[in-house]
Amino acid sequence: MPEVTMTVNGKPASGEVEGRTLLVQFLREDLNLTGTHVGCDTSQCGACVVHVDGQAVKACTMLAAEADGAEVTTIEGMAAPDGTLDRVQEAFKEHHGLQCGFCTPGMVMSAAALLRDTPKPTEAEVREYLEGNICRCTGYHNIVKAIMAASGQEVSALAAE
């Protein structure tokens, strides 16, 4: 079996994998980074989004072998080493942007990528960007609100509650 080596959350990681092993399987099963979730088998739900060399990628659409040599960041690598939450994580907590928590890692990773490319997205831009992330709990209301808040925009008037 081929050996893969990559940097995950700033630390070196390697392992032997079958050729068919997906990146998400390698992360979850070999590295025990179970924060990245699997919610579908057609690459649509987005629960498995991670960053590979700075790009948001669905870790179920990529073979582990393809990530050989890459820099990978998962949800476990988002908070600062002292535990301080990233601004997206913090905003999700502040604005109740999660319920069951299963889609959350993918939502946070997608949102972080969006805000890197589009620092002040409009509501429509946030909603369109999340096309590849499905949430069944929140009706998206507080997710969109949290992402806009994380971008530093005033959200209290978006929809009164």
Say whether residue 10 binds another protein (CB under 8 A).
no
Identify which of 87, 137, 136, 93 has the alpha carbon closest to the alpha carbon of residue 112: 87
State the DSSP code for 29.
Answer: I
Among 39, 71, 87, 153, binds another protein (CB under 8 A): 39
Among 92, 115, 149, 150, binds another protein (CB under 8 A): 92
Pairing type for strands 3-8 and 71-73 reads parallel
Say whether residue 35 binds another protein (CB under 8 A).
yes
Say whether residue 15 binds another protein (CB under 8 A).
no
What whole-number distance in Å separates Cα of residue 152 and Cα of residue 132? 23
Among 16, 53, 117, 128, binds another protein (CB under 8 A): 128
Say whether residue 79 binds another protein (CB under 8 A).
yes
- The smaller minimum CB distance to another protein, of residues 69 and 156, is found at 156
What whole-number distance in Å separates Cα of residue 22 and Cα of residue 54? 19
What whole-number distance in Å separates Cα of residue 1 and Cα of residue 40? 26
Q: Is 64 helix (H, G, I), strand (E, B) or coil?
A: helix
* Contacts with another protein, residue ranges (CB under 8 A): 18, 20, 28-29, 33-42, 44-45, 47, 74-76, 78-79, 85, 89, 92-94, 96, 98-105, 108, 123-124, 126-128, 130-131, 133-145, 158-161
